């Protein structure tokens, strides 16, 4: 289990999510700390799971969901001064 982020980290993430909500199309929504699962073809086996600080997704992908499996429109990870460059380099990037 990871330590909780510092207050400033949470404030930055919330400010970004609020701004994305102000500027995004009506069918998009910014959410904090939602799990994004990459599922196998059977739709049940989790290949990987990420939890970006801010995720902008289609509202239809978020309704009642405990996690999202559709690729988000945007995923944001807020970096803190305590983030080790090695752990940042290990984070997968979707293309």
Q: How far apart are CA 1 and CA 14, in angstroms?
A: 22
Average of per-residue pLDDT across 12-32: 96
pLDDT in tens, 48-67: 888 999 999 999 999 888 88
Domain limits, the chain: 7-90
| 48 burial level (CB within 10 Å; 0-12, 13-18, 19+) | exposed
H/E stretch holding 30 reads: strand 28-32
Which pTM was predicted? Answer: 0.75
Q: What share of the chain is helix, strand, coil (3-state, %, to 5)?
A: 30, 25, 45
Separation of alpha carbons 95 and 4, rounded Å? 29
pLDDT band at 32 (very low <50, low <70, confident <90, very high): very high
Domain 7-90 class, CATH top level:
alpha beta
């Amino acid at each position: 289990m990871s330590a909780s982020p510092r207050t400033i980290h949470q404030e930055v993430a919330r400010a970004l999510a609020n701004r994305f909500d102000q500027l995004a199309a009506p069918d998009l929504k910014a959410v904090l700390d939602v799990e994004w699962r990459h599922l196998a073809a059977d739709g049940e086996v989790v290949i990987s799971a990420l939890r970006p600080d801010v995720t902008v997704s289609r509202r239809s992908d978020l309704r009642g969901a405990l996690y999202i499996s559709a690729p988000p429109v945007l995923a944001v990870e807020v970096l803190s001064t305590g983030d080790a460059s090695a752990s940042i380099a290990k984070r997968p990037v979707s293309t």
